[in-house]
């Protein structure tokens, strides 16, 4: 009668599992994440890149001031970043933009700019939204740039050494009731 030894089979299985997991981690690190970090850091305006793998993957991009962005435009810079990420990691990725918004800009954004933008989205009155944002920026002596595409509204604010970037998705336009 042949006897199957459980312990050597179990140890071998654990070693193979560890080898496979280690190989996958090395592949991700050297063939996916490092090249992605390098290509993202070559985009104009990108100062720092942090990538966290998971479900979904999270890419945190620290951007520099307006003048360092691609043509000084958040939308163009974000599009270049998104293209690189989609090419390397696919579409199930969360992108977060970092900035130097300490000081008055966060309060100003949350207190007024965000209200005008959300109101413009809700009413689908983007020309009024743009004029409200321009008026508010001028009255607060804030340099700004507001652009839009089919998916997002891009807002750049700068006052002195502080700058704030927001990429705001349009609200879902699907019909139906929500709870």
Helix (H, G, I), strand (E, B) or coil at 46: strand
Give the separation between CA 120 and CA 124, rounded to whole angstroms: 5
Among 7-11, 17-21, 115-119, 158-162, name the most confident range: 115-119
3-state secondary structure 97-166: EECECCCHHHHHHHHHHHHHHHHHHHHCCHHHHHHHHHHHHHHCCCEEEEEECCCEEEEEEEECCEEEEE
Give the separation between CA 144 and CA 126, rounded to whole angstroms: 16
pLDDT higher than 90, residue 91: no
* pTM for the full predicted model: 0.78
Average pLDDT over residues 56-62: 89
Which pLDDT tens digit goes with each residue over 14-37?
Answer: 999 988 888 877 776 676 788 889
pLDDT higher than 70, residue 108: yes
Phi-psi region of 87 (alpha: psi -120 to 50; beta: other; left: phi over 0): alpha
Which pLDDT tens digit goes with each residue over 157-171?
Answer: 999 889 999 999 986
The count of other CB atoms within 10 Å of the CB of residue 81 is 23
- Look at residue 127 in the predicted model and tell me its pLDDT: 95
pLDDT higher than 50, residue 38: yes
pLDDT higher than 70, residue 60: yes
Which pLDDT tens digit goes with each residue over 128-155?
Answer: 999 999 999 999 999 999 999 999 999 9
Count of H helices and E strands in the chain?
6, 6
């Amino acid at each position: 009668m042949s006897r199957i030894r459980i312990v050597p089979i179990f140890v071998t299985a654990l070693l193979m599992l560890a080898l496979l997991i280690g190989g996958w981690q090395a592949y991700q690190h050297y063939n996916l994440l490092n090249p992605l970090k390098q290509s993202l850091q070559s985009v104009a305006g990108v100062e720092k890149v942090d990538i966290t793998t998971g479900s979904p993957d999270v890419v945190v991009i620290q951007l520099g001031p307006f003048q360092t962005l691609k043509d000084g435009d958040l939308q163009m810079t974000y599009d270049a970043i998104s293209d690189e990420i989609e090419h390397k990691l696919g579409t199930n990725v969360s992108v977060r933009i970092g900035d130097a918004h300490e000081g008055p800009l966060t309060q100003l954004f949350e207190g007024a700019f965000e209200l005008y933008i959300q109101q413009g989205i809700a009413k689908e009155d983007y020309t009024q939204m743009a004029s409200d944002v321009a008026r508010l920026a001028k009255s607060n002596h804030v340099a700004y740039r507001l652009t839009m595409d089919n998916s997002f509204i891009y807002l750049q604010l700068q006052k002195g050494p502080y700058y704030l970037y927001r990429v705001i998705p349009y609200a879902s336009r699907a019909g139906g009731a929500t709870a």
